[in-house]
Structure 1
Amino acid sequence: MDLAQQPAEGRSACLARLAEGTARFHEPRRDDCPWCGSTRLRVRLRTADLIQRKPGGFTLERCDDCAHTFQNPRLTAEGLDFYRLGSARHDLGHRDFWRQDLCHGLDGGAPALLARAGSGRTRRLAGVRALSRIDEPESWLDVGTGRARFPGAARDVLPYTAFDGLDTDPGLAQGVRRGRIEEAHHGRLTDLAEDLAGRYDVLSMVHYLQRRPDPRAELAAARTVLRPGGHLLIEAPDPECRSARLLGKWWASYRQPRHPHFVPLANLCRELDELGFTVVDVDRRTPHVPSDLTTACALALNRLLPEADAPWHPRPPSPLRRRLRRTAWQTAIPLLALAYAADLLLAPLLTRTGGGNAYRVIARREPEA
């Protein structure tokens, strides 16, 4: 059952989970950086759940030595389950869902705008085209693929490549049924890596690393799955970008509490080098997702407006508050449209001046020494 869609049925169970407070949803705070071990940490931001508005607070800290940004304290397994976006929508898979979670969570106002923000075909396939100039792979594994929309589109660029997908979402099977991928691996990369060892020429992780509890383990697993000479393609939000600094908690890629790690580009490249990869291409322009202002405005409005009905509220909102929320979103559509236009107009300037909000890395796995 999707609690967000069935608030009345899920209310008693949800309130029972909240009766003991939200502290039990967090692990103990750590005193050192999970990337480099430094104890020189500082708070980067504190925020609430800005999408679903579930109770609780979350902190991101930044290491002053290596610039790694991470959630501290991190959510427990129970916390991840509680703060997970509604199960029915979760089945879409992360990449199918990330442009839609705000739309559904903010119910009403910006669905069309937010669903389109940053979803351009040219941007999605830029990494595929960049890699096709380096290699012509026979086999490709897309990790965190959801319903395999990305491999389905990539076939237009590489029609003779066999694409497979890996994810934990039930929606993965749709990718096979619709012919987007040939084989579906249901599970986590770190658990399946040995079974898939040396099987693929290319492995892609598009907006995947930031939501894994141990990015380093994911990179090591990717190395295991790739053949010597194979390529790893990674796209991820850039925690050092201007939008992250200027917008703070309203920067949509922070997406607390569901993103525990933000790896700076320099850290990623060093880690790949230590794992025996050679970085062959870095791009901080075409991966930019032109939606920062749009999503920031939508998140702020969602925070200011009366709350929608949800099972974590003791009682449903009155009909008047529901009408007020719906009317306010409809009134805000011109503002969101203006923000979306600004995102599109500013994108060329931002990417030319190093202000893109995401990066892409392509690295080649070198043969064993």
Structure 2
Amino acid sequence: MPSTPHPDAARRAEYLGELAQGTDRFHEPRRVDCPWCGSTRLRTRLRTRDLVQHKPGTFVVDQCRDCAHTFQNPRLSAEGVAFYHRDVHEDHAGREHLAERILTAHGGARRHRAAARAMLTFPEPESWLDVGTGHGRFPQAAKEVHPYTSFDGLDPTRRVETARAAGRVEEAHRGHLTDPEILARLRSRYDVVSMVHHLEHTPDPRAELRAALTVLRPGGHLLIEVSDPDCAFGALLGKWWASYGQPRRLQLMPRDNLLAELEGLGCAIVTTNRREPHTPYDIAGALTLALGRVLPAPDAPWRPVSPTRLRRGVRTALAGATAPLVVGATALDHVWAPLLRRTRFSNAYRIIARSPA
């Protein structure tokens, strides 16, 4: 009876089989115009590799000279999105994803509660849908602020089902908000729809906004938080700016563009905020990404062979030796945060809009 391959060996064979066909197929054709305003006046903002998982491939981020919309170009195809998102939350060979933890620092419970508190000026919502909920961390924290609200979650991955099993959401909807079946099922059902760092990952943010208004009740509220491409850290740090998040972030939208789009959809802008959503992780994130680039490669199924025991030991030793640098950079981020969030160095913004009655 033939032996069963080790799971890691099977995963490595699967990855290498895909990569043998090249990475160009993971991209759509390159655009010559801006997906937001249609202008052909584009400039390349950066070229980079996958600095978190270190999967093969090169990624370009362009910016429109007219409307400042910033987008991945050429954009990942659906197949590419699946490939580069796969295993991003897994822990291969016991390795700690420090870079991933820093890149998802905006998902901390404290920041989630701050976003939820922004809705306290309105009547207590009965029903709330969190789009792109993942493991349901936002609803879990928001329920501490709104204990009488029913929170549901929507996500294209099975993580939303894990969130329901853990009691973080009451109903788990797996798929995309723009799916016709989901829209038909959830139409006019919610008082609040939240999108916390979700729009950056979507191929068509405008379609996401229209879908969100479809599932909102008349007069319901849309809560959005996104990374700000106008943040001065983007120009200062270049590809090491964590909020670029390549290749998993497809869009970065200037605040004025998003405000104009919401108003064009008939929404009333209730409030905007650049201070609270700022996440103090820019210096630590850049340092962590740079260290991940120069340290010996970790084991991963998309690498042809596993690193030797010696290379693993060297990586572990160097990672331990540089850990105090990351801790110091994190402390620096937090010390500067009260000042930076009042300037162009604020790296995110929040919008609360009311849907048409």
After TM superposition, is the score higher than 0.5?
yes
Rate the CA distance shift 1:105–1:40 in 2: closer, same or farther, 3 A: farther
Give the match for residue 359 of structure 1.
Answer: 349
What is the Cα deviation at residue 110 of structure 1? 4.5
User: Does the aligned pair in 1 maintain the 2:230–2:344 contact within 8 Å?
Assistant: no
1:238 paired to 2:239: no
Rate the CA distance shift 1:105–1:253 in 2: closer, same or farther, 3 A: farther
Give the match for residue 327 of structure 1.
Answer: 317
1:197 paired to 2:203: no
Aligned-partner residue type, residue 135 of structure 1? P
Give the match for residue 76 of structure 2.
Answer: 75
Question: Which residue among 200, 210, 214 is the counterpart of 1:210?
Answer: 200
What is the Cα deviation at residue 158 of structure 1? 1.3
What is the Cα deviation at residue 348 of structure 1? 0.5
Give the match for residue 262 of structure 2.
Answer: 272
SS of structure 2 residue aligned to 1:306: coil
What is the Cα deviation at residue 105 of structure 1? 10
What is the Cα deviation at residue 53 of structure 1? 1.1
Give the match for residue 139 of structure 1.
Answer: 127
Give the match for residue 22 of structure 1.
Answer: 23
1:228 paired to 2:229: no
Residues in 2 aligned to 1:14 and 1:319: alpha-carbon distance in whole angstroms? 22
Residues in 2 aligned to 1:256 and 1:116: alpha-carbon distance in whole angstroms? 13
Rate the CA distance shift 1:33–1:115 in 2: closer, same or farther, 3 A: closer
1:242-290 Cα shifts (integer Å, max 9, x gaps): 1222111111121111111111100000000011101110000001111
What is the Cα deviation at residue 299 of structure 1? 0.7
**How many percent of aligned residue pairs carry the same amino acid?**
54
What is the Cα deviation at residue 171 of structure 1? 2.4
Give the match for residue 32 of structure 1.
Answer: 33
User: Does the aligned pair in 2 maintain the 1:141–1:164 contact within 8 Å?
Assistant: yes
What is the Cα deviation at residue 132 of structure 1? 1.5
Aligned-partner residue type, residue 149 of structure 2? T
Aligned-partner residue type, residue 168 of structure 2? R
Residues in 1 aligned to 2:12 and 2:111: alpha-carbon distance in whole angstroms? 41
1:80-134 Cα shifts (integer Å, max 9, x gaps): 22222417x37xxxxxxxxxxxx87993594898499555543221221111113
Residues in 1 aligned to 2:71 and 2:103: alpha-carbon distance in whole angstroms? 27
Residues in 2 aligned to 1:105 and 1:160: alpha-carbon distance in whole angstroms? 42
Name whichever of 329-338 and 180-189 sits farther off.
180-189
TM-score by length of 1: 0.89
Give the match for residue 336 of structure 1.
Answer: 326
User: Does the aligned pair in 2 maintain the 1:109–1:333 contact within 8 Å?
Assistant: no
Residues in 1 aligned to 2:287 and 2:129: alpha-carbon distance in whole angstroms? 36
TM-score by length of 2: 0.92
Name whichever of 178-187 and 212-221 sits farther off.
178-187
Aligned-partner residue type, residue 143 of structure 2? R
* Alignment RMSD: 2.3
Give the match for residue 311 of structure 1.
Answer: 301
Residues in 2 aligned to 1:82 and 1:73: alpha-carbon distance in whole angstroms? 16
SS of structure 2 residue aligned to 1:204: strand
Give the match for residue 59 of structure 1.
Answer: 60
1:179 paired to 2:180: no
Structure 1 unaligned blocks of 5 or more: 91-102
**Aligned ranges for residues 103-182 of structure 1 at < 5 Å?**
107-108=95-96, 110=98, 114=102, 117-118=105-106, 120-182=108-170
User: Does the aligned pair in 2 maintain the 1:198–1:224 contact within 8 Å?
Assistant: yes
User: Does the aligned pair in 1 maintain the 2:128–2:149 contact within 8 Å?
Assistant: yes
Give the match for residue 42 of structure 1.
Answer: 43
SS of structure 2 residue aligned to 1:142: strand
User: Does the aligned pair in 1 maintain the 2:30–2:74 contact within 8 Å?
Assistant: yes
What is the Cα deviation at residue 316 of structure 1? 2.2
What is the Cα deviation at residue 71 of structure 1? 0.6
Rate the CA distance shift 1:13–1:174 in 2: closer, same or farther, 3 A: closer
What is the Cα deviation at residue 143 of structure 1? 0.8
Aligned-partner residue type, residue 234 of structure 1? I
User: Does the aligned pair in 2 maintain the 1:45–1:249 contact within 8 Å?
Assistant: yes
Give the match for residue 188 of structure 1.
Answer: 176
Aligned-partner residue type, residue 285 of structure 2? T
Residues in 2 aligned to 1:68 and 1:327: alpha-carbon distance in whole angstroms? 42
User: Does the aligned pair in 2 maintain the 1:142–1:204 contact within 8 Å?
Assistant: yes
User: Does the aligned pair in 2 maintain the 1:272–1:363 contact within 8 Å?
Assistant: yes
SS of structure 2 residue aligned to 1:256: coil
Residues in 2 aligned to 1:257 and 1:109: alpha-carbon distance in whole angstroms? 16
